[in-house]
Amino acid sequence: MASSTPYTVRWGILATGWIAETFTKDLLTNPASRDVHDVRHEVVAVSSSSSKDRAADFIKQVNAPSTTKAYGSYHELVADPDVDIIYVATPHSHHFQNAMLALTAGKNVLCEKSLTVTAAQTRKLIETARSKNLFFMEAVWTRYFPLSIKVRELITSGALGNVYRTIADLSVGRDAPEGKIDFPDSNRMVNADLAGGALLDLGIYALTWVFQSLYHTQPEEEKEAPNVIAAVNKYHTGADETTSIILQFPKHKSHGIALTSLRVASEPDNKDTAGASIRIQGGLGEIQVVGPAYRPHQLRIITKESDGKAEVIDFTIPKDKERDWGHGMFWEADEAARCLRDGQKQSKTLPWSESIVIMEVMDETLRQGGVTYPEVISTDVFDPQSPLNTGKR
């Protein structure tokens, strides 16, 4: 018999930057505000590699319970016996070392995108999670949106016929005079020491739409790794600034076109007038996904049957009115909670095997573009005393 008591997950937050704040505020919303009643979340500890004070400020900033523990190091957080799962919210450069730190301490992990800098690092993390019987998931929040679920249902129901092509773009329009990009060179978006660049930060979302529509929705035995043809422009920091990828899935005769750029914008006026950022095209019609690829808000479904008329479905992100907050990251947290409750070590919506194939596509793209990152962030040898774990910058 199903229990009426929601299953509670106790979170530890590793790092205190922008996304850590956004995600933690989502964890603290009332699940009932999104009509979820089977799981709930507690934030029991927050760690900052900068200082314990920084962690304490963060706890106040997000209005977490006063019992939440503040730690001045990632090592202390992963050793806390009250924590069930660690949310890794550092820059991409740090994900491998930080997630290994947590897994080797026996903690389940939800790790921000891009999962790692290299596919070898992803494989190592997955081997570690498997050998320690722990839950591990890449935090591609968009996959858990009701909008994404609807898109996958439409594809698998055959509403579009065979899907032959997906075009997906996430570009942020930060071109600046004299060949510059409007981020300081030290910013994680362009800083090679922090695994900066368009592909790992934004291109992962364009690839998410290609994979959701052309790979994930295939029966298990039909899934195939694609051939990759990439064009990459590098910025003077060595990170990629504009990257375009053609993915060819030979068995299914389908193509994915994943686009990302720090210079041009997929939504120049943020008002949906530029058209859909994502088009999923089948023999019988197409789905247009409107809004930024990471947080889209509308579907337009145009099929031969509808005679060219679009069925438009709007999706709003529910807000917890008491906290005046709701960003949309809570759905991935709910997924992690249900996996922990049910003893599943990976999410069916983004299984380990798929994270590996996507990282392999990114590896190949960066190889073709001649983008390389420093050894300290691209090694797949775990070092608990790495500066990425100790915060010694």
Q: If residue 58 lies in a helix (H) or strand (E), which one and from where to where? A: helix 52-61
Q: Which two tokens stand for residue 195?
A: 């695994």
Query: Smallest distance, Å, CB 312 to ligand NDP?
Result: 25
| Distances 270 to 163, 255, 276, 363 between C-alpha atoms, Å | 28, 27, 11, 31
Residue 91 as a binder of ligand NDP (CB under 6 A): the answer is: yes
Alpha helices in 111-194 (DSSP H): 119-132, 146-156
Point out which residues bind ligand LJPVP2WV (CB under 6 A): 201, 294
Interaction with ligand NDP in 288-327: which residues (CB under 6 A)?
294
Distance, in Å, from the CA atom of 121 to the CA atom of 125, rounded to the nearest integer, reads: 6
Distance, in Å, from the CA atom of 326 to the CA atom of 118, rounded to the nearest integer, reads: 32
β-bridge pairing 254-261 and 163-171: parallel
Query: Smallest distance, Å, CB 274 to ligand LJPVP2WV?
Result: 17
Of 201 and 354, which has the nearer Cβ to ligand NDP? 201
Binding mask 32-61 for ligand NDP (x = CB under 6 A): ----------------xxx---x-------
Burial 112-126 (b: 16+ CB within 10 A, else e): bbbbbbbbbbbbbbb
Interaction with ligand NDP in 322-361: which residues (CB under 6 A)?
none
Query: Smallest distance, Å, CB 171 to ligand NDP?
Result: 15
Query: Smallest distance, Å, CB 249 to ligand LJPVP2WV?
Result: 25
- Beta-carbon neighbour count of residue 198 at 10 Å? 29
| Distances 325 to 270, 274, 320 between C-alpha atoms, Å | 21, 28, 5
Of 218 and 242, which has the nearer Cβ to ligand LJPVP2WV? 242
Interaction with ligand NDP in 104-163: which residues (CB under 6 A)?
112-113, 141
Of 138 and 201, which has the nearer Cβ to ligand LJPVP2WV? 201
Residue 235 near residue 255, CB atoms below 8 Å: no
Of 39 and 361, which has the nearer Cβ to ligand LJPVP2WV? 361
Query: Smallest distance, Å, CB 371 to ligand LJPVP2WV?
Result: 18
Of 282 and 291, which has the nearer Cβ to ligand NDP? 291
Query: Smallest distance, Å, CB 128 to ligand NDP?
Result: 19
End-to-end CA distance of the chain: 52
Of 201 and 241, which has the nearer Cβ to ligand LJPVP2WV? 201
Query: Smallest distance, Å, CB 77 to ligand NDP?
Result: 10
Query: Smallest distance, Å, CB 51 to ligand NDP?
Result: 8
Residue 195 near residue 366, CB atoms below 8 Å: no
- Beta-carbon neighbour count of residue 345 at 10 Å? 17
Task: Find which of ligand NDP, ligand LJPVP2WV, none residue 107 binds, CB within 5 to 8 Å per kind.
Answer: none
Interaction with ligand NDP in 9-28: which residues (CB under 6 A)?
15-20
Give which of 391, 337, 371 is closest to 77, Cα–Cα: 391
Distance, in Å, from the CA atom of 379 to the CA atom of 393, rounded to the nearest integer, reads: 18
Q: Which two tokens stand for residue 376?
A: 């300290």
Q: 230: which strand partners?
A: 245
Query: Smallest distance, Å, CB 282 to ligand LJPVP2WV?
Result: 28
Task: Find which of ligand NDP, ligand LJPVP2WV, none residue 18 binds, CB within 5 to 8 Å per kind.
Answer: ligand NDP
Residue 90 as a binder of ligand NDP (CB under 6 A): the answer is: yes
* Amino acid in position 283: G
Residue 188 as a binder of ligand NDP (CB under 6 A): the answer is: yes
Burial grade of 392 (CB within 10 A; 0-12, 13-18, 19 or more): exposed
Task: Find which of ligand LJPVP2WV, ligand NDP, none residue 271 binds, CB within 5 to 8 Å per kind.
Answer: none
Chain-centroid distance, C-alpha 279: 20
Nearest to ligand LJPVP2WV by Cβ — which residue?
294
Q: What is the CA radius of gyration of the chain?
A: 21
Q: From the list 42, 138, 201, 240, which residue makes contact with ligand NDP (rule: CB under 6 A)? A: 201
Interface ranges with ligand NDP (CB under 6 A): 15-20, 48-50, 54, 89-92, 94, 112-113, 141, 188, 194, 201, 294, 391, 393
